[in-house]
């Protein structure tokens, strides 16, 4: 069984988001980590390796520095790593990214492709399903549990108020939630091996069946008008009513004022 | 001379830091107050290979260097001195001597499960009458057919009741050295569960309260002849070699305690307000922190230098790292004691309260000046090299 996991290096947003004066993310000022949903996807793949002896390949698109997350994945137990990097691929939105990754994935053998649900730097949740569309394979998104049975996978798919049990024949693509599992740590020996390991590096020329018009900034239909961090709410208005009735009347009055009721 | 860490060392440090913060820190206060050995943490340490870091892969280890091992003990000790010494005693005092002096059979039988963390190791040299003076040993081993028969006791043994494999030293006869009759000391590997091997008092300690410190008692304890470690009569050399390596582990523990106390205190002085401003805005606090941070950096450089020297020894056994290990331990232990004490002072009354980590760190730091050779012994080692 062959599993390919798509991972992304993202800025750690725990300590707040920092922007350049032009509104783009100041990635240099933030710690770079493996996207949490992708890490859960990698852990799911590594469990398939533990259980069924699956071969796990990780792939990422990004700057040469993105090799760091590939080495982390190797140190956790992945077998092979592919870095897709090229100047002409820079500035890609979800469409251009999924086109690029699909072009790279066409070079690989896979039974299962796992991606994270979404990346914490963009929160679009579009790349995984788009890759499946490009490759013409089924997609199951929001996986909170994955089981393999012969040539089929059964996935518990999260919904707001329920879950779906979906069975699909491989090859297919699954998008993973960070709630799927607790990813394992790297091992010290794994780190030493990962730092010596060869990482396959592909550029534009290595992508299969893709058109230049769908790549990089020029191939990205998305235009960002403005980006901002979460807006902090003000302190609000503090009211201390004399009785519970006064409190209820005050709240109801405010809700009517805002046309909520 | 390049003081920057390699990519693998940076990644390993981040791994140890994440593990310590997530898996070790939440238990630190509880195991200290309950004097409870953190078995659940040891299982996780085993799972991720932290109990066999400087051991070759063919012997079940991680195939990393001594510097990586030292950084592991350092990061664990930043949040919990107990967890740091569990790893240090296991790796430096049990795995290392068997790996260095054991036969191929002994390495396969003992080092492999120890490095994988399936078994935990300990080391028994100290006796009630033989601490710094290892010649004061009373425990005896007598060869009887195909077995050694051990009688005597060992005290203050780290990982005492929790270990599975013990490196034990005993007197096997008398030899003449420079015209004087001296005790012939030999080293042995003893397994838990061997008839005649029992545990005595559990020590009620000032610090590292979660570590299991016991008296070991041997009463006609019979072990196979093949469990002699190294050559007969070479026990003293094996013990001294082992303690040289152990000192790097304890120096890393001391370094971690000092760094942990300093980090906690930096956070505290930013938040604690007196006379309308944070105490970090007072020059007294600033100057003290500057001095403490400088001493910690000094200790760190000596600890890393000693670890790198032991790595050089692994490639070339003619190299000695004894002086570097003694200097690292002497400096780091005394820095740990000074830094933790001053950090308690900077916390004021809160520093004396058990809910604050610095209280525990100060108690934990004291032992680093005592075990695996007191600071006075380290000075003896260092000066003997100067005056030879």
In tens, the pLDDT along A46-58 reads: 999 999 999 999 9
| C-beta separation of A204 from A89 below 8 A | yes
Chain B contact present for A43, CB below 8 A: no
pLDDT digits (tens, 9 = 90+) for B96-115: 999 999 999 999 999 999 99
Task: Provide the pLDDT for residue A226.
Answer: 74
Query: Cα–Cα distances in Å, from A88 out to A20, A59, A62, A91, B31?
Result: 22, 18, 11, 9, 55
How far are the Cα atoms of A233, A239, A244 from residue A236, in angstroms, in the given order? 8, 10, 20
Q: What does the alpha-carbon distance between residue A257 and residue B352 come to, in Å, rounded to a whole number?
A: 54
Q: How far apart are CA B116 and CA B53, in angstroms?
A: 9
pLDDT on residue B218: 98
A186 touches chain B (CB under 8 A): yes
Is the confidence at residue A24, as pLDDT, over 70? no
- The DSSP line for A83-127 is EE--GGGTT--HHHHHHHHHHHHTTS--SEEEEES--TTT----H
Q: Which helix (H) or strand (E) holds B365?
A: helix B357-368
- Rounded Cα distance between B134 and B123, Å, is 14
Q: Which of A67, A191, A196 to mutate to test the interface with B (most CBs of B within 10 A)?
A: A191
In chain A, residues with a C-beta closer than 8 Å to the C-beta of B8 are 191-192, 194-195
Helices (H), chain A: 36-52, 67-76, 94-105, 127-135, 188-196, 244-257
Q: What is the ipTM of this complex?
A: 0.93
Helix (H) or strand (E) holding A33: strand A32-34
Q: Round the average pLDDT of chain B to a whole number and report it.
A: 97
Host H or E run for residue B39: helix B39-47
pLDDT band at A61, cuts 50/70/90?
Answer: very high
Calculate what percentage of chain A has a pLDDT beyond 70: 96
Q: What is the set of active-site residues of B?
A: 372
- What is the Cα–Cα distance from B114 to B90, expressed in whole angstroms? 8
Highest mean pLDDT among A61-65, A224-228, B245-249: B245-249
Nearest by CB: B48 against A71, A72, A187: A187
Task: List CB contacts of B212: < 8 A, sequence separation 6 or more.
Answer: B37, B158, B159, B160, B161, B162, B202
Those residues with Cβ within 8 angstroms of residue B282's Cβ, 6 or more apart along the chain or in another chain: none
Closest CA to B173 of B236, B265, B90: B236
Q: Which of B172, B176, B181 is nearest to B140 (CA)?
A: B172
The mean per-residue pLDDT over the stretch B125-153 comes to 92
Confidence band for A238, pLDDT divided at 50, 70 and 90: confident
C-alpha B75/C-alpha A176 separation (Å) is 32
B213: left (phi over 0), alpha (psi -120 to 50) or beta: beta
Is B249 in contact with B67 (CB distance < 8 Å)?
Answer: no
B residues 38-97 lying closer than 8 A (beta carbon) to A: 48-50, 53, 57, 61-64, 68, 72
Q: For testing the chain A interface, which of B11, B55, B76 should be mutated: the one with the most A CBs within 10 Å?
A: B11
Look at B15 and A185 and tell me if their CB atoms are within 8 Å: yes
From chain A, the residues in CB contact with B48 under 8 A are 184-188
B96-106: string of b/e by CB count within 10 Å (b at 16+)?
A: bbbbbbbeeeb
């Amino acid at each position: 069984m062959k599993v390919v996991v798509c991972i992304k290096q993202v800025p750690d947003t725990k300590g707040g988001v920092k922007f350049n004066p032009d509104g783009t993310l100041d990635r240099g000022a933030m710690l770079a980590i493996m996207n949490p949903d992708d890490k859960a996807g990698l852990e799911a793949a590594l469990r398939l390796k533990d259980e069924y002896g699956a071969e796990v390949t990780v792939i990422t698109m990004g700057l040469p520095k993105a090799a760091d997350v590939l080495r982390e994945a190797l140190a956790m137990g992945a077998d092979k790593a592919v870095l897709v990097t090229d100047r002409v691929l820079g500035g890609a939105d979800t469409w251009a990214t999924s086109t690029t990754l699909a072009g790279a994935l066409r070079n690989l053998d896979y039974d299962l492709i796992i991606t994270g649900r979404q990346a914490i730097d963009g929160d679009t949740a579009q790349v995984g399903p788009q890759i499946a569309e490009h490759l013409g394979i089924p997609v199951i998104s929001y996986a909170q549990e994955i089981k393999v049975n012969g040539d089929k996978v059964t996935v518990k798919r999260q919904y707001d108020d329920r879950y779906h049990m979906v069975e699909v024949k491989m090859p297919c693509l699954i998008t993973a939630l960070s709630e799927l599992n607790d990813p394992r740590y790297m091992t010290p020996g794994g780190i030493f091996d990962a730092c010596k390991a060869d990482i396959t590096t592909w550029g534009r020329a290595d992508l299969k069946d893709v058109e230049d018009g769908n790549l990089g900034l020029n191939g990205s239909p998305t235009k960002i008008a403005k980006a901002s961090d979460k807006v902090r709410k003000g302190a609000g208005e503090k009211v201390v009513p004399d009785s519970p009735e006064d409190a209820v009347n005050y709240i109801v009055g405010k809700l009517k004022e805002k046309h909520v009721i | 001379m390049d003081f920057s860490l390699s990519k693998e060392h940076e990644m390993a440090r981040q791994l140890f830091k994440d593990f310590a913060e997530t898996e070790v820190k939440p238990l630190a206060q509880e195991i200290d107050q309950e004097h409870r050995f953190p078995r659940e943490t040891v299982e996780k340490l085993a799972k991720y290979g932290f109990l066999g870091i400087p051991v070759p892969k063919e012997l079940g280890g991680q195939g990393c260097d001594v510097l990586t091992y030292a950084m592991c003990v350092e990061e664990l000790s930043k949040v919990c001195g107990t967890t740091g010494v569990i790893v240090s005693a296991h790796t430096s005092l049990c795995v290392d001597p068997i790996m260095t002096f054991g036969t191929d059979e002994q390495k396969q039988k003992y080092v492999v499960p120890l490095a994988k963390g399936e078994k935990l190791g300990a080391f028994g040299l100290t006796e009630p009458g033989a601490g710094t003076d290892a010649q004061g040993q009373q425990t005896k081993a007598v060869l009887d057919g195909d077995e050694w028969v051990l009688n005597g006791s060992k005290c203050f043994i780290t990982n005492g009741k929790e270990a599975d494999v013990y490196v034990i030293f005993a007197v096997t006869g008398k030899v003449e050295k420079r015209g004087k009759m001296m005790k012939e000391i030999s080293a042995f590997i003893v397994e838990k569960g061997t008839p005649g091997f029992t545990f005595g008092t559990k020590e009620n300690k000032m610090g590292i309260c979660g570590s299991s410190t016991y008296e070991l008692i041997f009463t006609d304890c019979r072990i196979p002849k093949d469990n002699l470690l190294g050559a007969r009569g070479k026990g003293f050399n094996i013990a001294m070699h082992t303690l040289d390596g152990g000192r790097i582990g304890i120096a890393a523990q001391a370094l971690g305690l000092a760094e942990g106390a300093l980090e906690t205190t930096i956070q505290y002085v930013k938040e604690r307000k007196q006379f309308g401003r944070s105490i970090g805005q007072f020059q007294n606090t600033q100057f003290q922190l500057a001095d403490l941070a400088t001493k910690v950096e000094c200790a760190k450089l000596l600890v890393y230098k000693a670890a790198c020297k032991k790595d050089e020894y692994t490639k070339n056994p003619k190299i000695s790292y004894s002086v570097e290990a003694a200097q690292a331990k002497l400096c780091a232990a005394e820095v740990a004691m000074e830094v933790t004490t001053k950090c308690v002072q900077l916390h004021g009354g809160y520093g004396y309260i058990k809910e604050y980590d610095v209280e525990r760190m100060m108690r934990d730091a004291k032992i680093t000046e005592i075990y695996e050779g007191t600071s006075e012994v380290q000075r003896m080692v260092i000066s003997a090299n100067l005056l030879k």
